[in-house]
Structure 1
Amino acid sequence: MKNFNQTKEEIILISEETDRNYWTTRLGVTAETLKSAIRATKSITLHHITAYLNQQNSSQFA
């Protein structure tokens, strides 16, 4: 029996301006911050990007 409860991983695409605007608004970051997070993580999945951004925010306040 297959497991149909699996969730799809959200992918962050920033090649189009409308996509970039959506993700920067949703995540509350600038386009440069988002690009830097993608470069740093070498990933475009929402899970990896938000984990990286959260880590960066927590280290700023430490």
Structure 2
Amino acid sequence: MEKSFNLARIENGSGFFMQEKEKTYNGFWKQIGCTLSIIAILGILAVIIIGFYMLLSGF
């Protein structure tokens, strides 16, 4: 009885650790996705602005 209780407690502990690790992992990827989308949006805006500048300067 005592042995099985310890085993269950160990499994629970590792399960909690994995859940915690997964949460930070998801947060990490969410942050990278957010950063990349901001960079992409700024890049698109820069291309549009450069295009207008070239049109106005008569390139």
Task: Please state which band the TM-score falls in when normalised by the shorter chain.
Answer: 0.3 to 0.5
Provide TM-score, normalisation by structure 1. Answer: 0.31
Higher helix share: 2
Higher relative contact order (CA 8 A, sep 6+): 1
Which structure has the larger Rg over C-alpha atoms?
2
TM-score calculated relative to the size of structure 2:
0.33
